[in-house]
Amino acid sequence: METSGRARLTHAAFVLYGLLGYSFLYVPVLLLAFFSFNKSATGNLPFTGFTLHWYADLFRDYLVIDAFKNSLMVAAFTSLLATAIGTAAAFALVRAHLRFSEFLRVFFVLPMMVPGLLIGIALLVFFSSMLSLPLSLGTVTIGHVVMTTPFVVLVVASRLVDFDRRLEWAAADLGANPLATFRYVTFPLILPGILAGALFAFTLSLDEFVITLFTIGPQTTLPLYVFSQVKFGVTPKINALATLLLLGSISILLFTFYALSRLGRPGKAKPREVG
């Protein structure tokens, strides 16, 4: 059984390769989290004992709290605007059956193809030199909306393509006006898609660095704060902040995937009953 022995060896080699791959992806992040609990102030080996000191430090730092508030505010407004704009566009894109909708689709996702650096500096020049608009969290939000809206368009549009429109016609036949049809049939069915789009926009905004760097005024956001500290090297306090941020994004992501997978199986999501 020479071939079977060889097949087993290949199998083992690939499994080992897979394990190495996952280690490569996760060890750096786990180390980062690990050192946030280390007593040693170097943020590195040796591990001198467990502490939550760096986390406590974080919550006492008004700069961090301020940056956190700013980040949250920008992400919330970005998510709200991008979801509204993106959902409206997705509806038109999928349902208008235009001859040039292919062109429009490419046009609307264009900001995804352009490096954030270009969007950032273009907006900086546009706001400050052309419009003489003072940079603020508002200008940051505009930049983030430009960057995240394409994601919402794609997520919501892909859900709408799978949508069974007979449900809407059935509602209309049963006497529901367009508003009621939307409220009780369409909206509940595509809600997971919209929610996923909103959460994508929220996480992307929360983590966005380059566009923020160029469009922000005197304020700071969490990624900007991290960047300003990181330039001087690794500290356990930043490790603590990083760990919390990573946990935050991962929780939002898992929830997003959950929301999407619920609609991934057509027929499983049920419209809400009326009355």
Structure tokens belonging to residue 118: 């270009």
Q: How far is the CB of 245 from other proteins (least distance, A)?
A: 6
Residue span binding other proteins (CB under 8 A) among the ranges 48-56, 66-74, 183-191, 260-268: 260-268
- DSSP result, 26-63: HHHHHHHHHHTTBSSTTSSSS---B--HHHHHHHH-HH
Question: What is the distance between the alpha carbons of residues 259 and 5, in angstroms, rounded to a whole number?
Answer: 44
Q: How far is the CB of 52 from other proteins (least distance, A)?
A: 19
Interacting positions 97-116 with other proteins (CB under 8 A):
97, 104-116
Q: What does the DSSP 8-state code read for residue 200?
A: H
The answer to the question of residue 231 lying near other proteins (CB under 8 A) is yes
Question: What is the distance between the alpha carbons of residues 205 and 66, in angstroms, rounded to a whole number?
Answer: 17
Provide the mask over 152-191, with x wherever binding to other proteins is found by CB under 8 A and - wherever it is not: -xxx-xx--xxxxxx--x----------------------
Interacting positions 5-44 with other proteins (CB under 8 A):
11, 14-15, 17-18, 21-22, 24-26, 28-29, 31-32, 35, 42-44
Helices (H), 125-267: 137-161, 166-173, 178-181, 187-207, 210-215, 222-230, 236-264
Closer residue to other proteins (CB): 142 or 190: 142
Q: How far is the CB of 54 from other proteins (least distance, A)?
A: 14
Closer residue to other proteins (CB): 65 or 88: 88
Residue span binding other proteins (CB under 8 A) among the ranges 52-60, 66-74, 182-190, 219-227: 219-227
Q: Which residues contact 59 (CB under 8 A, 6 or more apart)?
A: 65
Closer residue to other proteins (CB): 115 or 275: 115
